[in-house]
Copies of this chain bind each other. A is one copy, B any other.
Amino acid sequence: MQEIERKFLILDTSDFRKEAFRETRIVQGYLNSAAERTVRVRIRGEQGFLTIKGKSSSDGLSRFEWEREIRISEAEALLKLCEPGVIEKLRYEIRYENHIFEADEFCGDNEGLLLAEVELQHKDEEFAKPDWLGEEVTGNLKYYNSYLSKFPFKEWQNHNP
């Protein structure tokens, strides 16, 4: 299926966390981090997932996505096969008017990075923006998690891509 998403930085002076109706820990790695055929292994809370994504459309908005839930023991075994550069983050799910925003606070080598995504049904769907939403970075490859696994945020100060 095709996934349509828009991605934004989060203003780090904001207190977006207290608006969350759910908070989950995510650990994920990549069996392939190439943007043309990303294969991701994820543990989200007590669930495991295997997700395959294709190349983004030219506007960066949509992308083929296939996902299957797997047992957490399988996800743990598959994480051991992944490329170096596992990503850890806390995900806050926030309802704002008619949409759910997923706000990610990264840990480890990506500490300091805050990213929010909203999934849309159509490319031109309107949505209300909470006041903690910053610059839009949809389609910017350096904010892809697969990119962050290879070039983590903490290294951007020295070598901004």
Question: What residues of chain A have their CB less than 8 Å away from a CB belonging to chain B?
Answer: 31-32, 36-37, 39, 50, 52, 54, 64, 66, 68, 70, 74, 77-78, 80-83
Pairwise interchain contact A68-B66, C-beta atoms closer than 8 A: no
A77 and B66 CA atoms in complex are apart in Å by: 9
Contact of A78 among B31, B36, B66 (CB under 8 A): B66
Residue in B closest to A29 when the chains form the complex, CB atoms:
B37
Pairwise interchain contact A64-B37, C-beta atoms closer than 8 A: no
Q: Which residues in B have their C-beta under 8 angstroms from that of A80?
A: 54
Copies of this protein in the complex: 2
Q: Which residues in B have their C-beta under 8 angstroms from that of A32?
A: 31-32, 37, 39
Contact of A31 among B39, B74, B77, B81 (CB under 8 A): B39
Given A37-B81, A52-B78, A54-B81, 5 new contacts (CB under 8 A):
A50-B50, A66-B77, A66-B78, A68-B68, A68-B70
A54 and B82 CA atoms in complex are apart in Å by: 9
Residue in B closest to A1 when the chains form the complex, CB atoms:
B77
